[in-house]
Amino acid sequence: MSLEVKLPEPNKSTPLSQLLLKRRSIRRYGRGSLKLEELSQILWATYGLVDKNRRVVPSAGATYPIEVYVFVKNVENLKPGIYKYNEDKNTLILMREGDFSGDLASACLNQEWVYRAPVNIVLVAVYERTTSWYGERGFRYIYMEAGHVGQNIYLASTELNLGTVAVGAFHDEDVKRIIGLGDEYIVLYVFPIGRI
């Protein structure tokens, strides 16, 4: 015998519900640049600190295997370049100067939104940080964590009236070469961000 229980109607007017209703993948962006404040807000929601030892997303054993790289093409008061987000100090560390959106887009199978976006956030993992604790099982934990991070990027962009889309189709080695990353790194996700 099966039992089916009718649930109370969800309250879809809460701030989080409103964001969830509005969230969608956006692949067409206006020409405008991003403000440094907007970029900072999104990066904090991506992988920022909530206190000394914890971040805005859950992480298996608090191992935090993900690193956040930022391809800047058009942000007010910021040189185009590839930066690493330093969560501890809320800073961006310049890795390579210049606009690499063309290289990144071709590594992403020529997805036009990657080329057009004023910013692309690239999520990269160092597997070792989690697998040294959890062995093989650590791999799935890292992918799960990337999902948490990705949803935060969607929700923060939605709140700021910016558009984003999760991009999982790319040539791993090409993206790594453009950023200048070694063998221990794995690229997980690319998120173009732009004005709607």
Token couple for 121: 């956030």
Interaction between residue 110 and ligand FMN (CB under 6 A): no
Using CB under 6 A as the binding rule, whether residue 165 contacts ligand FMN is answered as yes
167 is a contact residue toward ligand FMN (CB under 6 A): yes
**Segment near ligand FMN (CB under 6 A); pick from 1-9, 123-131, 160-168, 176-184:** 160-168
3-state SS, residue 69: strand
Burial of 56 (0-12, 13-18, 19+ CB in 10 A): middle
Q: Which is nearer to ligand FMN, 39 or 117 (CB)?
A: 117
**How many residues belong to the site for ligand FMN (CB under 6 A)?**
9
State how beta strands 81-86 and 91-97 pair: antiparallel
- State the nearest-atom distance from the C-beta of 111 to ligand FMN, in Å: 6
Residue 13: what are its φ and ψ, rounded to 5°?
Answer: -105, 0
Q: Could you say which of 60, 144, 166, 196 contacts ligand FMN (CB under 6 A)?
A: 166
Structure tokens that stand for 37 in this block = 């404040």
SS3 141: helix
Shortest distance, CB of residue 84 to ligand FMN, whole angstroms?
A: 23
> What is the rounded CA–CA span in Å between residue 196 and residue 194?
6
Work out whether 14 is an interface residue with ligand FMN (CB under 6 A).
no
Residue 175, Cβ neighbours under 10 Å: how many? 23
Q: Which of 32, 58, 102, 168 binds ligand FMN (CB under 6 A)?
A: 168
How far CA 189 is from CA of 16, 31, 37, 110, 142, in Å, comes to 24, 24, 23, 15, 12
Pick the stretch among 96-104, 133-141, 161-169, 179-187 that binds ligand FMN (CB under 6 A). 161-169
Site string for ligand FMN, 64-103 (x = CB under 6 A): ----------------------------------------
- Is residue 24 close enough to count as binding ligand FMN by CB under 6 A? yes
Residue ranges that bind ligand FMN, judged by CB under 6 A: 24-25, 27, 111, 165-169
